[in-house]
Amino acid sequence: MNLINLPYQINRIHVAHRENTLGLLTYGSVHHYQPIQEQHHVSLTMTRQGMDGYSSGTLHPIFSQNLPEGFNRRFISQKLARYAKVNDMYLLALQGDQGIGLLNYQSDLLFPETTSLSLDQILSYHSQEPLFPQLLEKYYLRNALAGMQPKVSIPNVQLNQTDRTVQQKDFIVKSFDDDFPLLTVNEFVCMQAAQYCGLEPPKSYLSNNLETYVVERFDRKNTGERLGYEDFTTLLKKSNDADAKYTGSYETLLKATLLYTGRLSEVEKMYRYIVFNCLIGNGDAHLKNFALQYSSDMTNIFVSPPFDLTHTLIYPNIDQNMALKLKGSKAFPHVADLLKLAESDTFRIRNAKDIIFSFSEHILDYLKQSNEVQLFNGLRQSIERSVSNIMVSSTTRKCYRHDKKKKFD
């Protein structure tokens, strides 16, 4: 794209679902969203009847939730600094029709078509010149993803097919910086472990040179249907600042899941994710790393597949705590704490003990047979330590044993 043709600033964005404009977002002294119809809401948190608009000093959470943070935000801001006033409205407009979820953003920005790639080109890339900076250069203007780590979303990646049909899917490609070496391998291993535990994560891949991790987008179906997506900073109406995703507790996450979905099966799914994150040693399971999805009419609301699973405890440059509180503390829990989490005044997860023990066994089994875990020195031992620290009783410091024979007594 010729950057000279970019509008300098963006103060008006039409928010649409497919071709239907739902409302107008403007920015003057405040951000204002004005619906222009009554049938479709833009968020589960903005469902007032009638045509009243929503004014807010900062950009509304549903619009700000997917704005780039960290690396990607700095990258785009530096690239466009001479040509545009890069603020939240601008970054939102850059999402165009590529944003995660249902909504499209139409503004004065015109996007050129980008040429597509095949998955194989990404996975088997082999050159002295790293691939990721090239992908970033090509796709950064359509980079509609939240998160701190370097990543790009690439539409219409061609998959290798054995028959003659060409299948295309949208992928997210992530790399790593010096602070988190081999995060790609780490995330791939954790996603595979999640698969092993039956959590049904999206399909992911690791490039041969270990420099890129690739994951299928789960907000778009093969039929082209798009699903609504809201992370828990939006759902819990948190402010837009960087720390908000680290405020709150896993208890609240479960309660909010029940509130929005109304289904115990979804609460149990969320409980499984929390247990898995604790066992695998993920200290970055914050509110933006959990989300709900829904059909376009908002009738079917469910917990999204798991994503951004990593074993953070191996990196000495971040603390050894969890991202959210459990029982009032960010220290990693013990089995008893996880069992307690399964019960509240509004729900009870009956098979919590089985979930915890079977996940710990499945993770250890997976690690035994994984080739990829060997690619990261110390990763296997570090995850095993994390599992065993949780499976040790807090009072007796003895290992809980899962007596399979007794299970059906």
Residues that bind ligand ATP (CB under 6 A): 66, 100, 145-149, 151, 172, 202, 215-219, 231, 284, 288-289, 307-308
Burial call 30-40: b when 16+ CB within 10 Å, e when fewer: ebbbebeeeeb
Pick the closer one to Mg ion by CB: 257 or 289.
289
Pick the closer one to ligand ATP by CB: 280 or 349.
280
Q: What strands, in cross-sheet order, belong to the sheet with 54-56?
A: 54-56, 31-35, 20-27, 12-17, 103-106
Residue 56's SS3 state is strand
Write down the least CB distance from residue 148 to ligand ATP, Å. Answer: 4
Which DSSP helix (H) or strand (E) runs through 353?
A: helix 352-369
Write down the least CB distance from residue 136 to ligand ATP, Å. Answer: 13
Is 277 near Mg ion (CB under 5 A)? no
Pick the closer one to Mg ion by CB: 184 or 289.
289
Residue 401's SS3 state is coil
For the record, the structure tokens of 182 come out as 């081999």
How far apart CA 113 and CA 106 sit, in angstroms, is: 16
61 binds, among ligand ATP, Mg ion, none (CB under 5 to 8 A by kind): none
Pick the closer one to ligand ATP by CB: 308 or 335.
308
Is 308 near Mg ion (CB under 5 A)? yes
For the record, the structure tokens of 268 come out as 């149990």
266 binds, among ligand ATP, Mg ion, none (CB under 5 to 8 A by kind): none
User: What are the angstrom distances between the C-alpha of 57 and each of 22, 33, 36, 230, 239?
Assistant: 21, 11, 21, 20, 11
C-beta nearest to ligand ATP: residue: 147
Write down the least CB distance from residue 146 to ligand ATP, Å. Answer: 4
Write down the least CB distance from residue 187 to ligand ATP, Å. Answer: 8
Is 312 near Mg ion (CB under 5 A)? no
Among 101, 147, 201, 283, binds Mg ion (CB under 5 A): 147
C-beta nearest to Mg ion: residue: 308
- Helices 379-391, 352-369: axis angle to 10 degrees equals 160
Q: Which of 308, 152, 299, 294 is nearest to 225 (CA)?
A: 294
Write down the least CB distance from residue 288 to ligand ATP, Å. Answer: 5
DSSP labels, 281-303: T-TT--GGG-EEEE-TTS-SEEE
Write down the least CB distance from residue 307 to ligand ATP, Å. Answer: 4
100 binds, among Mg ion, ligand ATP, none (CB under 5 to 8 A by kind): ligand ATP
The rounded radius of gyration (Å) of the Cα atoms in the chain is 22
* Residues found near Mg ion in the complex (CB under 5 A): 147, 289, 308
